């Protein structure tokens, strides 16, 4: 080392550094590093962990295997022992989701008390203790002042927290609990449950002769799982015929369809009724099944008479002969299955009734519970979590939900409240505070109205993976959620049992897994005993105990990467309905729904034009001559998620307006041009993609873009039966910028 | 050993410590009081007076007795950083509540810099090296692995509660702090070989890691900060690393 005399270093640097140093010493030395601790030499090997993919979040989903090396997740692949063994690109990208540098990693609270559009929250980092104390104090204050129902437990897209979420909400005493099924999935379930007392959607089996694929582009959505589409292609090779009905000429239609029908958006109900018209007029229906196992057939048959293929052609754009061909292909096959998208035919004001009309087509043929059709197989035992969720308490609280009068059918069929009315619930003084877990305000039509309403809440706390200004700027506090590789709690039901999850690492920063946070919240709210004193393991065990399987958390962990197998409740026998009937009011399949009639709705699956359409609003159509459909799927994103994750972002880095060659040419637009898309409600701007997918007169944009929020162009009109938003009932015009 | 050299070596150690502390978490009441007591207030700032420098009697950076200060010793960023931090601290009033308001103001700025992120962001003061150097802009990418291996080679690891990756700026600075402390120790024990070896490692770590990304990080930090305090920290951070690199080079000869 040189001596100091040889050195002409900056005197200023020396003086400054020395002076600064005194403070550093007083501040306490090292905080992040641990020097000279004895630590074991690393083996340098790889270890494996197993979890279920939450990237799509229909629920926890495909099985994932993670490789961990030197404290880091280095590789993600499928778990071949899982019932959904092959994740898609989104699942593989969970690796990049963990290490996204933009994740929120600490609880933050706003320091600017003024809330509203354009206000900077001025976030400040806080500790979990302060966060939990504040939430508990604010929620209890609202409870004392307005009652427990004034606090909403508002869940967005995630599902895997729901058992604990519902439990803590029930303990607190609020019935105003929501889930993402209120915009997706559940309206489809409602339609088939109203008809059959059960769901109808099934993938084709080996004995299936015809499969009707309606509004569902599985090649892209990969729902119900990535390998399902391969199964469909295999079934096609084995001879199954496919009728694909979709407003868009999707990859699924191109690859699978023996017959493809492209209806005008929102007219699916008329098309289904016209198919029924042909099947009945040509006497192709299954007399035995219809006479013995259905209710309301004669009125239904009378009603569908008006939907001749020719009349339906006028309504739906589908040529009459194609409707006849589809009806015959469906009716003459002898064994048929059906898959309907959870969110395409339901996003119209006529959603449930149209979807009922569609899902009644199997009833005409008696395609129910025998080989090659929808089979009602006994499920696995020991996974019922209703006791854990405190279902009795939830049922007791349910009449106090907001929106029960507005959407009585939803409210009768679901234990959740219909959160599409959140705007009115807040503005009418029903909701004063809320926990918004995974909630996105861009999910609501006319988003700014929601942003303003949420700003007026006495207290709002969100829990999320990212801090999203369009939602979280209107909150008082935001909490960091752990991602799948950082959590152990969610179990996943499997066809033959239950499978557990392992964490690859501790959560980054101070993120917490949902179950842990909810337990901590429950304790802070005063329910220590019922929330297991915050002990996650005890909570997981209680969850298993409630199902009655007798399994321990350790049993399930030990079974990984495999499934912890549980007994089935019985063996499948065909046509069980001959013994049990159907779970409807009449005990039969209902062409005329007893429940709908009881609740003041038309019992038949009547067709009405969507509230906004070229037919129902001709004056609007003159100004805005393009039908706008939103809320579709692409293979690389789910809702607003992963828009900036490199492996996914590369495929669609920015919003695209998809339109036909004809519509583009008529407006002087070419592929890649920037355009404004607008209507009487709002305007967004994006690049144009000219495509064969869209029928002339129909355009679409993917939802969930912060820079081009499609919900600005959607009205606050809802399906009166499901309460679903009308993401596909809109008109617009497009102009080059 | 030369008392002056010892003081220099201890000084650089503690400077790393303070920078690490400032970048690891918010300023708290205790640290604020200590910082306010330090002499890096605005009037301490140094810059050469005219003709090219400023020569305004009202300039807080003016220094009348700086004639003996060699131009080589002048670091504009170091001075500006001192001036900004000092100015901010001097601007905090002494009324009741003033310190608390400043702490909140600083905490909000800290969160803006290091906690609050938009998903769409790609240029921001990300405190982890790998975010700046990895192709896909991710935490825990290659730089983290390299840094972790270097730490382990020196018997240093992240504290048990650490959840932000080894390539976090605070941890990299604490690694330098640790090696700097060992250097001072070796020097005071006249163990020149060890001291030189440690200094070489620090030179290499500065070149391959801190100086490879912290300038970009600090630039983003300076752009994002809304308080002069953190603008000053950003300037001081880079200036310190550069000055220290020069010092290490000179010490190594």
What is the distance between the alpha carbons of residues A293 and A198, in angstroms, rounded to a whole number? 14
* 8 A C-beta contact, residue A687 and residue A654: yes
Torsion, Cα B68 B74 B78 B83, to 10 degrees, reads: 50
Interacting residues of A15 by C-beta distance below 8 A, sequence separation 6+: none
Q: What is the DSSP letter of B209?
A: I
Interacting residues of A699 by C-beta distance below 8 A, sequence separation 6+: A626, A627, A628, A629, A657, A658, A659, A660, A663, A677, A732, A734
What is the distance between the alpha carbons of residues A421 and A725, in angstroms, rounded to a whole number? 10
B72 band by pLDDT with thresholds 50, 70 and 90: very low
- CA distances to A16, A147, A215, B187 from B6, in Å: 16, 68, 76, 7
> What's the burial of A555, exposed, middle or buried (CB within 10 Å: 0-12/13-18/19+)?
middle
B251 Cα to chain A: minimum distance (Å): 5
Average pLDDT in the A350-361 region? 98
Which tens digits make up the pLDDT trace of A457-486? 999 999 999 999 999 999 999 999 999 999
B44 band by pLDDT with thresholds 50, 70 and 90: very low
For residue B137, pLDDT over 60 is answered with yes
Q: What is the pLDDT of residue A221?
A: 86
The bridge status of strand A477-480 relative to strand A336-340 is unpaired
* 8 A C-beta contact, residue A172 and residue A433: no
For residue A122, pLDDT over 70 is answered with yes
Average pLDDT in the A133-154 region? 98
Q: Could A12 and B78 be called an inter-chain contact, meaning their C-beta atoms sit closer than 8 Å? A: yes
Q: What is the pLDDT of residue A19?
A: 54
A36 touches chain B (CB under 8 A): yes
Instruction: Quote the tokens at residue A12.
Output: 């200023």
A629 Cα to chain B: minimum distance (Å): 25
| Mutation to test the B interface, candidates A6, A13, A107, A130, most B Cβ within 10 Å | A13
Q: What is the pLDDT of residue B248?
A: 95
What is the distance between the alpha carbons of residues B167 and B148, in angstroms, rounded to a whole number? 7
Q: Residue A659: which of A570, A592, A572, A733 has the closest Cα?
A: A733
Map tokens 């006249």 to a residue.
B190
Q: Residue A229: which of A246, A251, A261 has the closest Cα?
A: A251
Q: Nearest 5°: CA angle at A222, between A359 and A464?
A: 105
Q: Nearest 5°: CA angle at A460, between A458 and A464?
A: 175
Q: Could B108 and A124 be called an inter-chain contact, meaning their C-beta atoms sit closer than 8 Å? A: yes
Map tokens 């007076």 to a residue.
B49
> What's the burial of B3, exposed, middle or buried (CB within 10 Å: 0-12/13-18/19+)?
exposed
A103 contacts on B by Cβ (under 8 Å): 117
* 8 A C-beta contact, residue B128 and residue B168: yes
Instruction: Quote the tokens at residue B195.
Output: 């001291």
From the list A30, A123, A468, which residue is nearest B115 (CB)?
A123
Which tens digits make up the pLDDT trace of A382-439? 999 999 999 999 999 999 999 999 999 999 999 999 999 999 999 999 999 999 999 9
What integer best gives the mean pLDDT of chain B? 87
A106 touches chain B (CB under 8 A): yes
Q: Which residue of A has its CA nearest to B171?
A: A32
What is the distance between the alpha carbons of residues A101 and A98, in angstroms, rounded to a whole number? 9
- CA distances to A103, A517, A528, A540, A646 from A536, in Å: 24, 10, 12, 6, 33
Which tens digits make up the pLDDT trace of A277-310? 999 999 999 999 999 999 999 999 999 999 999 9
Q: Residue A376: which of A186, A589, A199 has the closest Cα?
A: A199
* Window from A4-13, A511-520, B37-46 with minimum mean pLDDT: A4-13
CA A503, A506, A509, A515 dihedral sign is: positive
What is the distance between the alpha carbons of residues A21 and B10, in angstroms, rounded to a whole number? 8
Q: What is the pLDDT of residue A34?
A: 86
A40 touches chain B (CB under 8 A): no
Q: Could A26 and B34 be called an inter-chain contact, meaning their C-beta atoms sit closer than 8 Å? A: yes
The H or E element spanning position B213 is helix B211-224
How many CB atoms sit inside 10 A of residue A470's CB? 17
Q: Say what the ipTM of the complex is.
A: 0.93
- State percent of chain B over pLDDT 90: 72
Q: Which residue of A has its CA nearest to B244?
A: A13
Q: Nearest 5°: CA angle at A172, between A171 and A174?
A: 105
From the list B18, B154, B158, which residue is nearest A21 (CB)?
B18
A89 Cα to chain B: minimum distance (Å): 16
For residue B119, pLDDT over 70 is answered with yes
A705 touches chain B (CB under 8 A): no
Instruction: Quote the tokens at residue A94.
Output: 């969970």
What is the distance between the alpha carbons of residues B95 and A129, in angstroms, rounded to a whole number? 30
A20 band by pLDDT with thresholds 50, 70 and 90: low
Instruction: Quote the tokens at residue A646.
Output: 């490199």
What integer best gives the mean pLDDT of chain A? 94
Average pLDDT in the B199-206 region? 98
B78 band by pLDDT with thresholds 50, 70 and 90: confident
How many CB atoms sit inside 10 A of residue A199's CB? 17
Which tens digits make up the pLDDT trace of A87-115? 999 999 999 999 999 999 999 999 999 99
A80 band by pLDDT with thresholds 50, 70 and 90: very high
For residue B51, pLDDT over 70 is answered with no
Q: Could B144 and A72 be called an inter-chain contact, meaning their C-beta atoms sit closer than 8 Å? A: yes
A577 band by pLDDT with thresholds 50, 70 and 90: very high
Q: What is the pLDDT of residue B1?
A: 60
Q: Which residue of B has its CA nearest to A35?
A: B156
What is the distance between the alpha carbons of residues A660 and A694, in angstroms, rounded to a whole number? 5
- CA distances to A407, A720, B182 from A724, in Å: 10, 8, 66
* 8 A C-beta contact, residue B92 and residue B98: yes
Q: Radius of gyration over alpha carbons of chain B, in Å?
A: 19
Alpha helix locations (H) across A173-319?
A: 186-196, 218-221, 226-237, 251-256, 268-281, 287-293, 297-304, 309-316
Q: Could A102 and B121 be called an inter-chain contact, meaning their C-beta atoms sit closer than 8 Å? A: yes
Beta bridge partners of A103: A466
Q: Which residue of B has its CA nearest to A466?
A: B119
Q: What is the largest CA-CA distance in chain A?
A: 108
Q: Residue A682: which of A724, A618, A630 has the closest Cα?
A: A630
What is the distance between the alpha carbons of residues A682 and A670, in angstroms, rounded to a whole number? 23
* 8 A C-beta contact, residue A538 and residue A461: no
Instruction: Quote the tokens at residue A721.
Output: 């039966």
Q: What is the pLDDT of residue B82?
A: 87
Q: What is the pLDDT of residue B2?
A: 76
- A290-320 burial code (b ≥16 CB/10 A, e <16): beebbbbbeebbebbeebbbeebbebbbbeb
A39 band by pLDDT with thresholds 50, 70 and 90: low
With H, G, I as helix, E, B as strand and everything else as coil, classify residue A649. helix
Q: Could A33 and B175 be called an inter-chain contact, meaning their C-beta atoms sit closer than 8 Å? A: yes
- State percent of chain B over pLDDT 70: 86
For residue B74, pLDDT over 70 is answered with no
Q: What is the pLDDT of residue A41?
A: 61
Q: What is the pLDDT of residue A225?
A: 80
A/B interface, count of CB pairs below 8 Å: 256
A490 band by pLDDT with thresholds 50, 70 and 90: confident
Q: Could B247 and A25 be called an inter-chain contact, meaning their C-beta atoms sit closer than 8 Å? A: no
The bridge status of strand A626-630 relative to strand A698-701 is parallel
For residue B46, pLDDT over 50 is answered with no
Q: What is the pLDDT of residue A566?
A: 96
What is the distance between the alpha carbons of residues A93 and A70, in angstroms, rounded to a whole number? 20
What is the distance between the alpha carbons of residues A700 and A720, in angstroms, rounded to a whole number? 24
Average pLDDT in the A334-351 region? 96
Alpha helix locations (H) across A407-446?
A: 408-413, 422-427
Average pLDDT in the B136-164 region? 94
What is the distance between the alpha carbons of residues B188 and A15, in angstroms, rounded to a whole number? 20
Average pLDDT in the A428-456 region? 97
**Inter-helix orientation angle A11-27/B228-252, to 10°:** 110
Q: Which residue of A has its CA nearest to B240?
A: A13
Q: What is the pLDDT of residue B43?
A: 40
- State percent of chain A over pLDDT 90: 89
Map tokens 């976090």 to a residue.
B168
Residues 509-538 of chain A whose Cβ lies under 8 A from any Cβ of chain B:
509-510
For residue A27, pLDDT over 70 is answered with no
A733 Cα to chain B: minimum distance (Å): 28
* 8 A C-beta contact, residue A615 and residue A362: no
B38 contacts on A by Cβ (under 8 Å): 19-20, 22-23
A222 band by pLDDT with thresholds 50, 70 and 90: confident
């Amino acid at each position: 080392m040189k001596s100091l005399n040889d050195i002409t270093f900056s005197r200023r640097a020396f003086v400054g550094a020395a002076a600064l140093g005194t403070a550093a010493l007083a501040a306490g030395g090292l905080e992040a590093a641990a020097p000279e601790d004895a630590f074991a030499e690393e083996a340098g090997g790889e270890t494996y962990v197993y979890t279920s993919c939450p990237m799509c979040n229909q629920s926890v989903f495909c099985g994932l295997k993670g490789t961990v090396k030197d404290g880091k997740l280095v590789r993600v692949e499928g778990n071949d022992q899982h019932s959904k063994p092959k994740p898609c690109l989104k699942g593989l990208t969970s690796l990049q989701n963990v290490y996204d540098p933009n994740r929120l990693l600490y609880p933050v609270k706003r320091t600017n008390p003024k809330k509203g559009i354009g206000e900077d929250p001025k976030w400040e980092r806080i500790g979990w203790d302060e966060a939990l104390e504040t939430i508990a104090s604010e929620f209890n204050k609202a409870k004392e002042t307005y009652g427990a129902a004034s606090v909403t437990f508002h869940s967005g897209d995630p599902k895997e927290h729901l058992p604990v979420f519902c439990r803590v909400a029930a303990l607190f005493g609020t019935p105003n609990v929501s889930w993402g099924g209120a915009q997706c999935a559940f309206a489809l379930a409602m339609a088939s449950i109203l008809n059959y007392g059960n769901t109808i959607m099934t993938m084709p089996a080996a004995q299936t002769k015809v499969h009707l694929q309606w509004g569902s582009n599985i090649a892209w959505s990969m729902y119900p799982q990535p390998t399902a589409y391969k199964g469909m292609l295999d079934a096609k090779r084995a001879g199954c015929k496919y009728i694909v009905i979709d407003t868009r000429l999707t990859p699924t239609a191109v690859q699978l369809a023996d017959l493809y029908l492209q209806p005008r958006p929102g007219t699916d109900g008329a098309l289904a009724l016209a198919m029924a018209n042909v099947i009945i007029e040509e006497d192709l229906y299954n007399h035995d099944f219809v006479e013995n196992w259905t209710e309301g057939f004669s009125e239904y048959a009378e009603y569908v008479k008006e939907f001749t293929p020719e009349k339906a052609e006028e309504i739906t754009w589908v040529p009459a002969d194609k409707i006849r061909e589809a009806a015959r292909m469906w009716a003459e096959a002898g064994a048929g299955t059906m898959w309907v998208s959870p969110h395409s035919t339901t996003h119209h004001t006529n959603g449930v009734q149209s979807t009922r009309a569609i899902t009644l087509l199997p009833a005409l043929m008696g395609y129910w519970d025998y080989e090659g059709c929808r089979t009602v197989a006994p499920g696995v035992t020991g996974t019922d979590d209703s006791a854990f969720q405190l279902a009795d308490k939830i049922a007791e609280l349910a009449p106090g939900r907001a929106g029960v009068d507005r959407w009585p059918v939803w409210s009768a069929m679901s234990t959740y409240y219909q959160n599409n009315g959140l705007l009115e619930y807040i503005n009418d003084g029903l909701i004063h505070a809320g926990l918004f877990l995974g909630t996105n305000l861009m999910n609501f039509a006319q988003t700014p109205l929601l942003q303003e309403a949420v700003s007026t809440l006495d207290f709002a706390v969100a829990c999320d993976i990212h801090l999203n200004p369009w939602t979280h700027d209107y909150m008082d506090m935001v909490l960091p959620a752990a991602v799948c590789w950082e959590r152990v709690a969610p179990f996943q039901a499997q066809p033959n049992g239950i499978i557990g999850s392992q964490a690859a690492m501790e959560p980054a920063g101070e993120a917490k897994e949902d179950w842990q946070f909810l337990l901590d919240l429950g304790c802070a709210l005063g329910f220590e005993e019922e929330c297991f004193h915050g002990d996650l393991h005890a909570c997981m065990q209680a969850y298993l105990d409630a199902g009655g399987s007798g399994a321990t958390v350790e049993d399930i962990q030990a079974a990984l990467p495999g499934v912890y197998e549980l007994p089935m409740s019985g063996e499948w026998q065909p046509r069980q309905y001959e013994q049990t009937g159907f779970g409807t009011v009449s005990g039969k399949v209902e062409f005329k729904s007893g429940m709908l009639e009881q609740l003041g709705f038309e019992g038949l699956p009547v067709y009405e034009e969507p509230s906004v359409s070229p037919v129902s609003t001709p004056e609007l159509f003159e100004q805005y001559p393009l039908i706008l459909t939103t809320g579709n799927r692409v293979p690389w994103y789910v809702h607003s998620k992963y828009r900036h994750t490199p492996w996914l972002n590369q495929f669609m880095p920015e919003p695209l307006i998809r339109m036909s060659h004809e519509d583009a040419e008529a407006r002087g637009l070419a592929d890649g041009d920037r355009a404004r898309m607008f209507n009487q409600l709002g305007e967004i701007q994006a690049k144009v993609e000219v495509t064969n997918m869209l029928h002339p007169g129909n355009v679409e944009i993917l939802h969930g873009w912060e820079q081009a929020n499609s919900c600005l162009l959607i009205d606050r009109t809802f399906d009166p039966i499901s309460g679903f938003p009308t993401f596909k009932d809109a008109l617009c015009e497009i102009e080059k910028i | 050993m030369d008392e002056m050299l010892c003081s220099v070596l201890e000084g650089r150690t503690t400077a790393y410590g303070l920078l690490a502390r400032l970048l690891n978490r918010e300023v708290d009441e205790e640290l604020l009081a200590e910082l306010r007591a330090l002499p890096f207030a605005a009037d301490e700032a140094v810059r050469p007076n005219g003709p090219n420098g400023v020569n305004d009697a009202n300039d807080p950076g003016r220094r009348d007795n700086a004639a003996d200060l060699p131009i080589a010793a002048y670091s504009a960023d170091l001075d500006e950083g001192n001036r900004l931090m000092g100015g901010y601290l001097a601007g905090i009033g002494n009324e009741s509540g003033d310190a608390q308001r400043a702490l909140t103001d600083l905490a909000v700025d800290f969160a803006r810099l290091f906690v609050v992120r938009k998903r769409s962001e790609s240029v921001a003061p990300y405190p982890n090296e790998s975010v700046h150097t990895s192709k896909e802009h991710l935490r825990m990418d290659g730089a983290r692995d390299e840094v972790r291996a270097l730490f382990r080679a020196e018997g240093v690891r992240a504290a048990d509660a650490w959840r932000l990756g080894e390539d976090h700026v605070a941890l990299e600075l604490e690694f330098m702090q640790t090696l700097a402390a060992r250097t001072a120790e070796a020097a005071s024990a006249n163990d020149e070989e060890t001291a030189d070896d440690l200094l070489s490692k620090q030179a290499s770590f500065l070149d391959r890691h801190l100086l490879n990304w912290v300038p970009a990080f600090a630039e983003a930090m300076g752009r994002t900060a809304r308080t002069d305090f953190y603008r000053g920290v950003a300037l001081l951070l880079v200036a310190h690393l550069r000055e220290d690199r020069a010092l290490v080079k000179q010490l190594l000869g």
